[in-house]
């Protein structure tokens, strides 16, 4: 029987993880079955228990369950502990293990685009699981300063306190989105606004050189703004490939090459 893997979220239809993991497996000569798994908003625990009870080998976790996944794990990696969010789950010796591969995926994606990260001033919009996962890897990649701006200020504050508790010397600021101004080298949209179709309003006084939209597969207000300002921009498909490669290596012990799986996304201006 083929080994079973899945990605769990709500919504889940947009996910391209199954096609990626099947493509990696074909390239590496591994047989597997990787499905999408929709969990009810209050049904995450029951859904992952059912998956692993039914011989599931590994799960990726997406919106909005990454923080719940972290809370469920018996063992987490250091980068998942710092993020307090998990996107990759597997059982080992009867214990549920979790890792967070989003940050390494984003760093690999931006590096592949040849956008500068060293000494960069970075603005991240949003303070959910995805933001938690990328902060520390971005600092490790050499960025000088990160500002997190969230619609709900209290959530940004909570995230900042969590991170600084581990690494008090990091240059990590927070802001309300409406209060943003000035210049950033790179802006990363880590809100889920485009998933829900909600508007994302950014102040006119905010300026930036590069724009990375974590969502993928459709156009967004953020990508439209980047086009309007003639700023180089990318949607999140390359990050998806990057984080999937990390998860694949955890589960299978071998690693596909990022460049082999980057296609031209129709939403990259
Ligand atoms: P969460 O649900 O954990 O967080 C969502 C965030 O979006 C919150 O900060 C929320 O703010 C904010 N938000 C939602 N709607 C709006 C809006 N209309 N205006 C302003 N802010 C808004 O999601 P994740 O952090 O897990 O994921 C965020 C995005 O990143 C998703 O689009 C996801 O698909 C994408 N992603 C892509 C990856 C990739 O590999 N390319 C990997 C991981 C994530 P508030 O706190 O105020 O509610």
- pLDDT tens-digit map of 162-190: 899 989 999 999 999 999 999 999 999 99
For CATH 3.40.50.10860, the residue range(s) in the chain are 3-100
Distance (Å) from CA 190 to ligand 1 centroid: 5
CATH code for the structural domain at 3-100: 3.40.50.10860
What is the model's pLDDT at position 182? 96
Phi, psi of 128 (to 5 degrees): -90, -160
User: Ligand 1, residues 192, 223, 234: which to mutate, most atoms within 8 A of Cβ?
Assistant: 192
Say how many Å lie between the first and final Cα of the chain, rounded: 43
In the chain, which stretches have pLDDT less than 50? 266, 269
- Angle value at C-alpha 227, between 222 and 233, nearest 5 degrees: 70
pLDDT tens per residue across span 214-246: 998 888 999 999 999 999 999 999 999 999 999
In this structure, the residues whose C-beta lies within 6 A of any atom of ligand 1 are 63-64, 66, 102, 105, 126-131, 150-152, 155, 190-193, 195-196, 198, 200, 214-216, 236, 239-240, 243
CATH 3.40.50.720 domain locations along the chain: 103-238
The CATH number given to 103-238 is 3.40.50.720
Annotated binding residue at 194? no
pLDDT for 268: 52
Alpha carbon distance 70, 83 (integer Å): 9
Per-residue pLDDT at 262:
87
Average per-residue pLDDT for the chain: 94
**pLDDT for position 199:** 85
Cα separation, 94 vs 246, in Å, equals: 22
Task: Verify cis geometry, omega within 30 degrees of 0, for the bond prior to 111.
Answer: no
Per-residue model confidence (pLDDT) at position 33:
98
Contact 63, 71 (CB under 8 A): no
Q: Is 46 annotated as a binding residue?
A: no
**Which pLDDT score is estimated for 92?**
97
106 contacts 235 by C-beta, under 8 angstroms: no
Q: In the prediction, which pLDDT does 83 show? A: 86
């Amino acid at each position: 029987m083929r080994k079973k893997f899945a990605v769990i979220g709500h919504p889940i239809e947009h996910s391209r993880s199954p096609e990626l993991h099947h493509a990696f497996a074909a390239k590496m000569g591994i047989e597997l079955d990787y499905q999408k798994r929709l969990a009810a908003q209050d049904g995450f625990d029951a859904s992952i228990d059912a998956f692993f009870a039914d011989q599931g080998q590994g799960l990726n976790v997406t919106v909005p369950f990454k923080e719940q996944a972290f809370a469920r794990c018996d063992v987490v990696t250091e980068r998942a502990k710092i993020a307090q969010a998990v996107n990759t789950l597997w059982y080992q010796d009867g214990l549920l293990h979790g890792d967070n591969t989003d940050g390494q995926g984003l760093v690999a994606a931006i590096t592949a685009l040849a956008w500068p990260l060293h000494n960069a001033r970075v603005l991240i919009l949003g303070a959910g699981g995805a933001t938690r996962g990328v902060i520390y890897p971005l600092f490790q990649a050499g960025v000088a300063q990160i500002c997190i701006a969230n619609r709900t200020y209290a959530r940004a504050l909570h995230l900042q306190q969590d991170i600084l508790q581990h690494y008090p010397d990091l240059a990590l600021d927070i802001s309300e989105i409406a209060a943003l101004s000035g210049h950033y080298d790179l802006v990363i949209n880590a809100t889920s606004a485009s998933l829900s179709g909600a508007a994302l309003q950014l102040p006119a006084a905010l300026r930036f050189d590069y724009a990375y939209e974590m969502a993928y597969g459709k156009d967004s207000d953020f990508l439209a703004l980047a086009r309007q300002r003639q700023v180089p921009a990318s949607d999140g498909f390359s990050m998806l490939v990057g984080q999937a490669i990390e998860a694949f290596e955890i589960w299978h012990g071998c690693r596909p090459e990022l460049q082999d799986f980057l296609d031209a996304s129709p939403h990259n201006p």
